[in-house]
Amino acid sequence: MKFVDEAIIRVEAGDGGNGIVSFRREKYVPRGGPDGGDGGDGGNVYVKADTNLNTLVDYRFTKFHKAERGQNGQSADCTGARGEDKVLMIPVGTRITDVSTGEVIGDLRKEGDVLCVARGGRHGFGNTHFKSATNQAPRQKTNGTPGERRQLKLEMLLVSDVGLVGLPNAGKSTFVRAVSAAKPKVADYPFTTLVPSLGVVKTSQGRSFVIEDIPGLIEGASKGAGLGHRFLKHLERCRVLVHLVDVHPVDETDPVDNVNVIENEIKQYAHELYNKPRWLVANKVDLGTEEEAQETLNRIIESVEVKPERTFIISAQNKTGVSELIFALQDLVDEVKKKELEEPEKPKAEEFVWTEPEVREYQIEDDDDFDDEEGPEFIYRG
């Protein structure tokens, strides 16, 4: 299945049905009075989070989605049927933005979250609504209002606890394979993974966390070079960043410069992401000595602006030091989750509620007030 994490779609809610002008015509009832029914409300467009989805590929090709229009009113005081709603299923972690205004409409982070992105039009009134003691044969009605029309940008942001960053060939995919059941591609030649990979790390019974490997980070990624600019957004929801650095690069580059390249790209992309807590992990220690790796870590710490909270020395290939790292990550994730549960819930946005418009009484002064083209002229009485 193709990994698609962005899509732009157009949604259109249903228009409200029109009211009608109708009079009761029945034998032996010479003055039946008005019986024009109201129209039905237009259907709404909703988006709903579903854990069974992991890509937006369906919306890459189907870009227009419309809810059903409300039916017009009918005689005998029959109200038109309400238009059927349109529900769009999207992956958990999808952010919805209005393209025209740039406003973030919603962010669905949990299974079953539902958001109304386009509200259907309001129904029109039939002439029954306008009857009164002084206007016993009203000939006015109202049409339904149009439904909302929007162009939306869907962005799927992967939901993970730990985000792995680093230059290509730093050993991120090897590390994910070593600590989880995920099987990203690894090889003995330089290359980069093309799509993010997620793995579930189980440390003990009932304890686990999700780790995410972001591919394609190179110099200039925040400006569009390589693949990194497409996937840096997936790090926004990570609780901690783990910067994996190869202390013995094959191309003999300086690990200090390599770390600063990634740090600079993250900083240019988003300051919120740059200020996230991060750990520094020296990988491929099996190609040298631990003393050399520690010396490299010390030089890196002196050069970076945001100091790492913790440092580790590991070999993802031989799994040296890996257990210590994942148990420390598990403790951190548990602590952060506990704090999030203790925080009071943010008040939800007030739900928009339709209110019935005021119905005013009108009196027709004279038959001459009727015009075949423009309709009656009404004079408001109070």
Please check whether residues 188 and 330 belong to one and the same domain.
Answer: yes
Residue 205 DSSP label: T
Position 276 scores a pLDDT of 83
Please check whether residues 120 and 185 belong to one and the same domain.
Answer: no
Please check whether residues 212 and 152 belong to one and the same domain.
Answer: no
Q: Which residues pair with 210 in a beta bridge?
A: 200
**Can you give the residue range of the structural domain that contains 230?**
162-342
Please check whether residues 2 and 21 belong to one and the same domain.
Answer: yes
The answer to whether 330 and 207 have CB atoms below 8 angstroms apart is yes
Considering the domain boundaries, does residue 382 fall inside one? no
Please check whether residues 139 and 199 belong to one and the same domain.
Answer: no
Please check whether residues 257 and 300 belong to one and the same domain.
Answer: yes
Considering the domain boundaries, does residue 355 fall inside one? no
Dist. CA 228–CA 374, nearest whole Å: 62
Considering the domain boundaries, does residue 48 fall inside one? yes
Please check whether residues 199 and 269 belong to one and the same domain.
Answer: yes
Considering the domain boundaries, does residue 377 fall inside one? no
Please check whether residues 265 and 283 belong to one and the same domain.
Answer: yes
For the packed helices 322-342 and 172-179, what is the interaxial angle rounded to 10 degrees? 80
Report the candidate in 190, 189, 191, 165 with the shortest Cα–Cα distance to residue 176: 165
Query: Residue 60 is part of a domain; what is its CATH number?
Result: 2.70.210.12
Q: How far is the CA of 16 from the CAs of 90, 147, 340, in angstroms?
A: 27, 7, 43
Residue 169 DSSP label: T
Domain end, chosen from 157, 172, 200, is at 157
Q: How many residues does the chain have?
A: 382
Position 335 scores a pLDDT of 87
Position 187 scores a pLDDT of 47
Query: Residue 321 is part of a domain; what is its CATH number?
Result: 3.40.50.300
Position 192 scores a pLDDT of 53
Neighbours of 120 (CB within 10 A): 32
Helix (H) or strand (E) segment spanning residue 293: helix 290-303
Considering the domain boundaries, does residue 37 fall inside one? yes
Position 123 scores a pLDDT of 93
Considering the domain boundaries, does residue 176 fall inside one? yes
Handedness of CA 52, 55, 58, 63 (dihedral sign): positive
Q: Mean pLDDT for each consecutive 10-residue tract of the chain (382 residues)?
A: 76 94 84 89 94 85 92 91 93 89 88 92 92 89 93 84 82 83 56 66 84 70 54 76 86 85 80 81 86 89 87 88 90 85 56 46 44 39 33
Report the candidate in 348, 347, 293, 341 with the shortest Cα–Cα distance to residue 315: 293
Number of structural domains the chain divides into: 2
Q: Which residue has the tokens 């740090």?
A: 263
Considering the domain boundaries, does residue 362 fall inside one? no
Please check whether residues 169 and 153 belong to one and the same domain.
Answer: no
Position 183 scores a pLDDT of 65
Q: What's the distance, CA 305 to chain centroid?
A: 32
Q: β-strands 149-156, 6-12: how paired? A: antiparallel
**Cβ-proximal residues to 296 (8 Å cutoff; 6+ apart), any chain:** 245, 247, 255, 256, 282
Question: Hey, is 351 helix, strand or coil?
Answer: coil
Report the candidate in 157, 163, 7 with the shortest Cα–Cα distance to residue 91: 157
Considering the domain boundaries, does residue 381 fall inside one? no
Please check whether residues 231 and 142 belong to one and the same domain.
Answer: no
Q: How far is the CA of 201 from the CAs of 51, 208, 209, in angstroms?
A: 19, 5, 5
Position 350 scores a pLDDT of 43
Please check whether residues 152 and 185 belong to one and the same domain.
Answer: no
Please check whether residues 74 and 179 belong to one and the same domain.
Answer: no
Neighbours of 64 (CB within 10 A): 8
Domain end, chosen from 98, 130, 157, is at 157
Neighbours of 46 (CB within 10 A): 18
Domain end, chosen from 157, 175, 191, is at 157
